[in-house]
Structure 1
Amino acid sequence: MDTLSGEITTRELRSQLSDVLGRAMYAGERIGVTRNGKLAAVVVSVEDLEALEAFEMAQDVAAYRDAKSADDGARVPLEDLRAELAS
């Protein structure tokens, strides 16, 4: 990931948790946590998480608006849907 400030193993994280949290909280760093050599998690600030959630919500709203504008009003009865899924 190009947006990571650095990486740390889970073993190192245990002994450096306070430092890692401080780097995320105050410096805005994104620290990757690796396990068995593979990226397992990322420590990010609350601000980054809130920004990600706002972005996801905006995408959901846009998708809803697109779906609503494309709705032609046609509906399928539940019985027909069940029959189609059963076959």
Structure 2
Amino acid sequence: MTIVSATEARANFQSLISRAEYKGERILIQRHGKSVVAVIGLEDLKRLEALDDAMDSAALRDAVEQNDGFTTLEEIDAARRSVHE
């Protein structure tokens, strides 16, 4: 992973975009010596989002399995309709 200062990133932003897009390079940008943001290609972002979605789905499945009183949205909607009828 490449690390650049915010000043360098500002001066070379177009180059950093190209490196991330075409070479798949991951670029970490630091401000005052602390990492603050990263420039990554779109394919990396898609993989990261897919992983995040999978983790959220797994957490939801675990929560449902551990909660005997889990209520679905369909059940809530049906209960609300029966009250208003």
Tell me, yes or no, whether TM beats 0.5: yes
Q: Please state how far the C-alpha of 1:74 moved relative to its aligned partner.
A: 7.7
Aligned to 2:66: 70
Identity of aligned residues (%): 39
Give unpaired runs (5+ residues) of structure 1: 76-87
Q: Name the TM-score, length of structure 2 as normaliser.
A: 0.76
Question: Aligned partners of 1:37 and 1:11: how far apart in 2?
Answer: 11
Q: Name the TM-score, length of structure 1 as normaliser.
A: 0.75
Give unpaired runs (5+ residues) of structure 2: 72-85
Compute the RMSD of aligned alpha carbons: 1.6
Aligned to 1:61: 57
Deviation readout 1:9-67 (Å, 9 max, x if unpaired): 11111111111001100111110101111111111111111111110100111111111
Sort the Cα spacing of 1:57 and 1:74 in 2 relative to 1 into closer, same or farther, 3 A. closer
Sort the Cα spacing of 1:68 and 1:26 in 2 relative to 1 into closer, same or farther, 3 A. same
Count matched residues. Answer: 71
